Amino acid sequence: SAPGVTVGNVSGNEFEPDLFYRGFDATAVTGTPQGLAVYQNGTRINEAFGDVVNWDLIPANAIDKTTIVAANPIFGLNALGGAVTVTMKNGFTWQGFEADFEGGSFYRAQEQIQFGKQVGSWSVYMAANQINDGGWRVAEASQLTNFYGDVGYKANGFESHLQLTAANTQFGVAAYTPIQQLQTNWGSVYTIPQTTDNQMAMLQWTGAYAYSPTLNFQAGAYFRQFNQQHVDGNGTDVTPCPPYSCLNGSPVHDTTGGIIPDISQGGTLDLGEDDDNQTQSRSVGVSGQVVDTDKVFGHDNTLTAGASLDYGWTHYTGNSTLGTIAFTNNSYPLTASPYIIDEPDSFLNPIDVKANNTYVGVYALDTFNATDRLTLTGGARFNFAGISLEGTNDALLSGYSDYFHLNPTAGLTYKITPDINFYAGYAMTNRTPTPLELGCASATDPCIIDNFLSSDPPLKQVVGQTFELGFRGQNALAALGPQWGKLQWSAGLFRTTLANDILPVVSTFNGFGYYTNVGTTLRQGAEVGAQWTGDKWTAYANYTYIDAIYLTTFEEPSPNNPLADANGNIPITNGTQIAGIPKNTIKAGVDYAVTDKWKIGADMVAASGQVIFGNENGAVPQVPGYTIFGLHTSYQYNKQVQLYGYAQNIFDQRYYTSGGLVQTGEFMTGPAITNPQSFGPGKPFAIFGGVRITM
């Protein structure tokens, strides 16, 4: 219900969501520019290699609260659009036992349990969940297993927590599908397999000590282990030339040096490739800060100063196996052969890369109440990033890059009335290239985005500057009497410019791409929202407008664009809309207490059209807008048992979440793909229900 926030699933799987805020993204999709820093109990959980955020690794029932903060350098690297802080439950904040059993559409079965208890100065909390979902698209089944545990101690001003998060998840990721397939079958997919397996374990320690009523010390440390295996079926540039398989007119070799034979049965079968990669990342870190609330010149003041150190190391491997593709069951499944392609001159060769990244931050922030109405805020953070790459099989992938930046921030809040505040602020933030981006940054040595690395020419760091101002109010209906309930509202403007923005672009080599600095981009807009609470009714509504454009001119490779020039490029000019960001988003919801035990509610999300990735020149129609509705209800049978249910997309709307361009005429079999539009279809009507037992 928060203004400016939408949740989608570009991956095609709802358990790998994308969180968008003011045109910036925190997603599990490798290759997507990440613009939000995400913290769990004070630990930054953007993964070490690509800065992606794997939301599936956080057990939802263990979350106490989630806060979204606008651009603020104090939150370190990647907080270009803002930061998301996830605070987990512990035995001091949550006690009891709860079991939740849910099932519904697409063979969904979900079990969740949590337990919390405090005994004197000690506490314990545990949560676990298991989800099995058949998926509504071809080969989209998912399994998730999560655990979170916390042991805490609190006495004499000291509080300490030892926390363990562990997860094992498997997804069938469907991604975009050509529109002509979707028109035939809404659950169809393009090439498969598209599977992702994640395993993660993170051990954290957090501590705080109140030295005095006005001086508090806080610290934390962590170790995180993350493994991912990704299998990606695709088309290929390899062609049959009996008795061999050829690439660019020459026989293609495998890893033994032998020539790969023709597996297409004389050109009667389509060829494809199974692009697999494995990521093994480990990261450790420590942080500490001091908070001083002593008065300054008789005025309230809060000074926060701290530092953090994060170090990560990653081993990344990938290869392409030649195979055949045939259309069956509304998809293009690939059958792999034993032959791994090894053609370095054509960017198809096994890759073995080791990466190390060191991030250091030092920061200070002061909040000073200048008057009873005026509060001033100022601070800064210094960031250092050192990234090294070592390519075992490719000398191009060896190098070291370091980045430095000082980011200031300043703001004010003015209390116009006891219930209405005006705020304004400025923040500078920065994002350094990730090891993944540095390893895939050459137009002449492109890679399979999301899978391979080829070379590491230097990329510049992204520097953001954000201005915002607005008003917030509460108790807006107080003068009319308590029967009118309580109304909270907000309205604001924001503007963020990014210098040297990094984006993935499609290479003129089929199926390949690379990362590059594209100059300056802009995301600006407005947010308005309101939340109302009455005796039996509660409601919310908000509207967000985002104008996301390029402020520079360059040629973007987009070989699948119908209006691309002879080199496969399209023009990007000052004012061109950035792809994948709807200009208008509306969200609204209402709940009603029919009785003390029975509640019902409804919600709505509407978004305007958006630019298709690679179609910034408008060569084909864009992604259309959509409006979807949902319903939910709950019945408190007794103190221990609650029954609930919810329905999604109740009018079964056929809508698209985002889109890209696909190569036409790639395969001989299956539907004739003559339209390059390819979309992520929205989930159809679904209904779920469950029982929650609390003791």
**Peptide bond just before 243 cis, omega within 30 deg:** yes
**Is residue 252, in this structure, part of any structural domain at all?**
yes
Q: Radius of gyration of the chain from Cα atoms?
A: 26
**Is residue 236, in this structure, part of any structural domain at all?**
yes
Q: What range defines the domain where residue 650 resides?
A: 5-268+278-694
Q: Distance between CA 449 and CA 429 in Å, rounded?
A: 26
State the average pLDDT over residues 389-416: 82
pLDDT tens-place string over residues 452-477: 433 344 688 999 999 999 999 998 78
**Is residue 119, in this structure, part of any structural domain at all?**
yes
Residue by residue, DSSP assigns 607-624 as E--BPPTT-TT-SS--BP
pLDDT band at 445 (very low <50, low <70, confident <90, very high): low
State the average pLDDT over residues 93-113: 97
Q: 377 with 337: CB under 8 angstroms?
A: no
**Is residue 351, in this structure, part of any structural domain at all?**
yes
Give residue 454's pLDDT: 36
Residue in 149, 173, 177 with CA at minimum distance from that of residue 163: 149
**Best-predicted range by mean pLDDT among 337-351, 426-440, 670-684?**
670-684
353-367, 402-416, 452-466: least confidently modelled range: 452-466
**Is residue 333, in this structure, part of any structural domain at all?**
yes
pLDDT tens-place string over residues 368-384: 999 999 999 999 999 99
Q: 488 with 480: CB under 8 angstroms?
A: no
**Best-predicted range by mean pLDDT among 296-300, 362-366, 654-658, 667-671?**
362-366
* Reported pTM: 0.92
- Look up residue 179 and give its DSSP letter: H
- Mean pLDDT, the chain, rounded, equals 91
Domain count, the chain: 1
Q: Return the CATH number at 459.
A: 2.40.170.20
pLDDT tens-place string over residues 207-259: 999 999 999 999 999 999 999 999 999 899 899 999 999 998 899 999 999 99
Say if residue 435's pLDDT is above 90: no
pLDDT band at 440 (very low <50, low <70, confident <90, very high): low
pLDDT tens-place string over residues 168-206: 999 987 778 999 999 999 999 999 998 999 999 999 999
**Is residue 204, in this structure, part of any structural domain at all?**
yes
Number of CB atoms found within 10 A of residue 417's CB: 9
Q: 594 with 639: CB under 8 angstroms?
A: no
**Is residue 597, in this structure, part of any structural domain at all?**
yes
**Is residue 273, in this structure, part of any structural domain at all?**
no
Distances (CA, A) of 51 to 31, 46, 434, 437: 10, 5, 7, 10
Say what percent of the chain tops pLDDT 70: 95
